[in-house]
A and B are shown apart, each in its own frame.
Chain A
Amino acid sequence: AQTVTQSQPEMSVQEAETVTLSCTYDTSESDYYLFWYKQPPSRQMILVIRQEAYKQQNATENRFSVNFQKAAKSFSLKISDSQLGDAAMYFCAYRGYSGYALNFGKGTSLLVTP
């Protein structure tokens, strides 16, 4: 089974600064998808960014970007110009190419300070 590891239970960043959240995964598949989801106190999981493993180019969505290292099985999320509204739990998730289920990491709690 694929496992997803987020080694940072908590992270803190000052407003307007940049923070990077780490994620590693274990898989024997060559094609798969990776996601970062955000869960604010409202509990709703919100898709932040996604990456197809067959694409070498790192995905970017406004202030959010990833550093995808396929050989190292690493998928980190960089948040630039952090805002107070970015404070939330962030989950890294893996989905096999032909799969329907997401395998989630344990999450990283991000605190944004003024």
Chain B
Amino acid sequence: KAGVTQTPRYLIKTRGQQVTLSCSPISGHRSVSWYQQTPGQGLQFLFEYFSETQRNKGNFPGRFSGRQFSNSRSEMNVSTLELGDSALYLCASSLGGQGAISPLHFGNGTRLTVT
């Protein structure tokens, strides 16, 4: 079974631009979560989608948004990029149930650099 696929692996953008990251979950997984990883703040939860609905959202400004399609693929968008948005963005998929019976499987991440 193919794992979680994130594209692209690397991105370089200029401050003020917007960016879209893509995530394809493991086949059969209906939940997709996004995390931001930085050296200073560590791993922080952005949001989680299940069956095209956002079920949970972390403490990030409205410039960060996402969506999920009917095939469970998800996209994350960041508008008006700031230097502090430079980070590794990780996507994770799961079957979607609550608890440990539905552990998260992570992709390799997209490294975003804002200049």
CB-based nearest B residue for A53: B100
CA distance A104 to B3 in the complex (A): 22
Q: Is the CB of B42 within 8 A of A97?
A: no
Interface residues on A, range: 20 to 34
Residue of B31, B88, B103 most packed against chain A (CB within 10 A): B103
CA distance A46 to B108 in the complex (A): 10
Q: Is B92 an interface residue (CB 8 A)?
A: yes
The B contact surface, by secondary structure, is strand
CB-based nearest B residue for A98: B98
Report chain A residues within 8 Å CB of B35: 102, 104
CA distance A45 to B3 in the complex (A): 12
Q: Is A78 an interface residue (CB 8 A)?
A: no
Report chain A residues within 8 Å CB of B43: 91, 102, 104
Q: Is the CB of B56 within 8 A of A100?
A: yes
Q: Pick the contact of B100: A46, A52, A98, A104 (CB < 8 A).
A: A52
Q: Is the CB of A35 within 8 A of B45?
A: no
Q: Is the CB of B45 within 8 A of A102?
A: yes
Q: Separation in Å of the B11 CB from the closest CB of chain A?
A: 14
CA distance A72 to B53 in the complex (A): 37
CA distance A9 to B99 in the complex (A): 28
8 A Cβ contacts from B16-55 to A: 31, 33, 35, 42-43, 45, 48, 50, 55
CA distance A6 to B30 in the complex (A): 31
Q: Is B13 an interface residue (CB 8 A)?
A: no
Q: Is B58 an interface residue (CB 8 A)?
A: yes
Given contacts A100-B48, A102-B45, A106-B42, contact A42 B108 (CB under 8 A): yes
Residue positions of B touching A, CB distance < 8 A: 3, 31, 33, 35, 42-43, 45, 48, 50, 55-56, 58, 88, 90, 92, 98-100, 103-109, 111
- 6 A-B contacts (beta carbon < 8 Å): A35-B100, A44-B3, A46-B106, A52-B100, A101-B45, A101-B48
The 4 nearest A-B residue pairs measured at CB: A45-B106, A104-B43, A101-B45, A33-B100
Residue positions of A touching B, CB distance < 8 A: 33, 35, 37, 42-47, 50-52, 91, 95, 97-107
